[in-house]
Chain A
């Protein structure tokens, strides 16, 4: 049952994906590229690019887009999106209820202290896996990488950096 698989794959992402959108990329990659093999790494890179260009939270955009593409209809998108967000809804209802216990909770503080560098490592790993599969096939890839990183360092809007990179790709490949 593909809808249940989509729901469950993204439910896992929503339940364990600390650190927001970028922190969840590695988990999404793990489910959709490695576990279920719904997408290739190059296709996953396309999904991230499209999700960045669209408004809204990155992870929701990724889930919707992947869900739609796996089944080819909106119900797939719905299953993936609900899978991703159901843990948030449950956890935040619990958090609102136990609000006072959470503030300054020692377990929470220690867990987060340990999880933080793990999440940073996960994001680096996602970048490494995206880089080694089709991003740097030739020297143009390195030039685009340098230009876009340079633009971001100069505080350019990420969408502008993507427009420039897409244009270079269009004219150079």
Chain B
């Protein structure tokens, strides 16, 4: 039973004290489970991270769940889920109650007005870093532009992702059929 408790404490602590979203959380998880606790070695961690990033859903949650499974099976998964989600759940409800009470307050509305352009910058910035460091191929730039235009015109994002999945599967089938010929 001890390690379920340890699992809970580790992931609860990370969720409660890590600011800055997914990738910062991933770094904190590595420090905790590889270096401090020694539950996983580095290559197991990287395998789990690769799968977490390949799946839909919050990456840090996917990663935590996989690690929970490695350490303690299905019970580990459930324990880690509660530990990782509980701080968000409690803190954001407190925020929601607070802003519901002061939502009409003009001072707070002014602050939010100032935050709106900053939110745009925060959303764009990681993309600029990614494109600058990794670069994109021509077809990727075209896809990015096309998707941006379509979604801003009102095409549902899910539809485009669905197209992407089908396209990816089609690529494999196409290559298979070329090879078998």
* Chain A residues engaging chain B, CB cutoff 8 angstroms: 12, 14-18, 20-22, 24-27, 30, 34, 42, 45-46, 48-52, 54-61, 64-65, 68-69, 72, 74, 77-78, 81, 84-85, 87-89, 91-93, 95-96, 99, 102-103, 106-108, 110-132, 134-136, 140-142, 144-145, 148-149, 152-153, 157-159, 161-162, 165-170, 172-173
Given A16-B56, A117-B140, A148-B121: A111 and B168 interface contact (C-beta under 8 Å): yes
Q: In the assembled complex, how far is the CB of residue A147 from the closest CB belonging to chain B, in whole angstroms?
A: 8
Contact between chains at A85 and B81 (CB < 8 Å): yes
Taking chain A's interface residues, is the majority helix, strand, or loop, or is none over half, making it mixed?
Answer: helix
Which of the listed residues A112, A124, A129 has the most CB atoms from chain B within 10 Å of its own CB? A124
1/0 per residue B11-47: CB within 8 Å of A? 0000111111111010000000000000000000001
Which B residues are in CB contact (< 8 Å) with A152?
121-122, 125
A148-B118 in contact (CB<8A): yes
Does B136 sit within 8 A of A, measured CB to CB? yes
Q: A108-B54, A131-B120 are in contact. Are A166 and B92 (CB under 8 A)?
A: no
A114 CA to B146 CA in the complex, in Å? 13
CB-defined contacts of A18 to chain B, threshold 8 Å: 55-56, 161
Query: Once bound together, how far apart are the Cα atoms of A149 and B51, in whole Å?
Result: 31
Going nearest first, the 3 A-B pairs with the smallest beta carbon separation are A169-B114, A121-B147, A111-B168
Distance between B7 CB and nearest chain A CB, rounded to angstroms? 15
Q: A162 CA to B25 CA in the complex, in Å?
A: 20
Contact of A135 among B55, B119, B140 (CB under 8 A): B119
Chain B 102-134 interface residues, beta-carbon cutoff 8 Å to A: 107, 110-127, 130-131
Q: Indicate if the CB atoms of B54 and A55 lie closer than 8 Å.
A: no
Known: A124-B144, A149-B121. A92 touches B55 (CB 8 A): yes
CB-nearest residue of chain B relative to A64?
B92
Known contacts A45-B115, A57-B61, then 6 further A-B pairs from the complex at CB < 8 Å, ordered by chain A residue: A20-B22, A77-B89, A124-B148, A125-B148, A130-B120, A130-B123
Q: Is the Cβ of A88 less than 8 Å from the Cβ of B65?
A: yes
Residues of A within 8 A of B87 (CB): 55-56
Give the complex CA separation of A18 and B143 in angstroms.
16
Residues of chain A within 8 A of B9, CB atoms compared: none
B148 touches A158 (CB 8 A): no
CA distance A68 to B88 in the complex (A): 12
A136 contacts which chain B residues (CB < 8 A)?
Answer: 117
Separation in Å of the A46 CB from the closest CB of chain B? 5
